[in-house]
Amino acid sequence: MAGRAAGRVAVAASVAAVVALGTTACGGSDSTSKLDSWAKSVCGGIATPIKTVADAKADTGRIVQGESPTDLQKRLADDMGQLATGNQQIAQAVQAAGAPATNGGSQTQADAVSELNQAAGGYTKVQQTVKALPVNDQARFAAGLRGVSDQIGQLSTQSSAALQTLQTGDLGAALNRQPGCAAPSGSPTDGGSGTSAASPDASGSASSSAPTSSASASASGTAKGSAKPSGTSSAKASASASS
């Protein structure tokens, strides 16, 4: 009798273990499903602003032969406006997706949104600075452009770092499973092949250090008394710490 009772207890324990295992497996699957749903929402909302930011950042590094200070000023001001709008839209997409279903997900989301909005505000201020540069004073214009180039680099780092926390661990894996966020193979992106495209700098046009842009290149030219860009650029591409 004692043997039978012990047998029944063993069977019951085995059944309980199987049920527990099944519950754990289902829970893991549900967690993955929730993360994938979150990542899909994020990636669907940032594809367009990511491109906007990438194109604008690439344009700041473009050298236009014979471009006048007035035309350069307008072009860079437009670029800063696009960078501000793009970072703001990326922040809105991350906010709209809700907090990811992970430990500290709400804080991670809040931090990313805050940093992206700060970067957007920074680009708006740089835009105002560019618009105020004295195009008729070549020395001051050149000095102003050099300062702008430094600020662009700092803001680029900030926007990249803002999304970096979303690109690690389970969150990063979920983002990389989405076509809109997976880093393109062979892309000369900041952060190399391990960086998700869910970053304002993922197109490879941004630099996390101060970039040598058309602003600094033109500054070199104007400092020598010429209104034309120097025609040379040594754009830097360094890993990001985002759009």
Given this model, what pLDDT does residue 59 score? 95
pLDDT: is 196 or 101 the higher one? Answer: 101
Given this model, what pLDDT does residue 179 score? 80
Task: Report DSSP letters for the chain, one per residue.
Answer: -HHHHHHHHHHHHHHHHHHHHHHHHHHHHHHHHHHHHHHHHHHHHHHHHHHHHHHHHHHHT---TT--HHHHHHHHHHHHHHHHHHHHHHHHHHHHT---SSTTHHHHHHHHHHHHHHHHHHHHHHHHHHHHS-TT-HHHHHHHHHHHHHHHHHHHHHHHHHHHGGGSHHHHHHHHTSTTTSPPTT---TTGGGS-S-STTTTTT--SS----HHHHHHHHHHTT-SS--S------------
Given this model, what pLDDT does residue 83 score? 97
For residues 66-96, one letter each, b for 16 or more C-beta atoms within 10 angstroms of the residue's C-beta and e for the rest, the string is: ebebeebbebbbebbbbbbbbbbbbbbbbbe
220 backbone dihedrals φ, ψ, rounded to 5°: -60, -40
Portion of the chain with pLDDT greater than 90, in percent: 45
Given this model, what pLDDT does residue 106 score? 92
Highest mean pLDDT among 101-115, 119-133, 175-189: 119-133
Residue 224: pLDDT band with limits 50, 70, 90 = very low
pTM across the whole model: 0.69
Given this model, what pLDDT does residue 214 score? 53
- As a whole number, mean pLDDT of residues 189-214 equals 39
Is pLDDT of 63 > 70?
yes
Q: Which two tokens stand for residue 224?
A: 């020598």
Give the mean pLDDT of the chain: 73
Is pLDDT of 115 > 90?
yes
Is pLDDT of 43 > 60?
yes
pLDDT digits (tens, 9 = 90+) for 121-161: 999 999 999 999 999 999 999 999 999 999 999 999 999 89
pLDDT: is 83 or 208 the higher one? Answer: 83
Residue 79: pLDDT band with limits 50, 70, 90 = very high
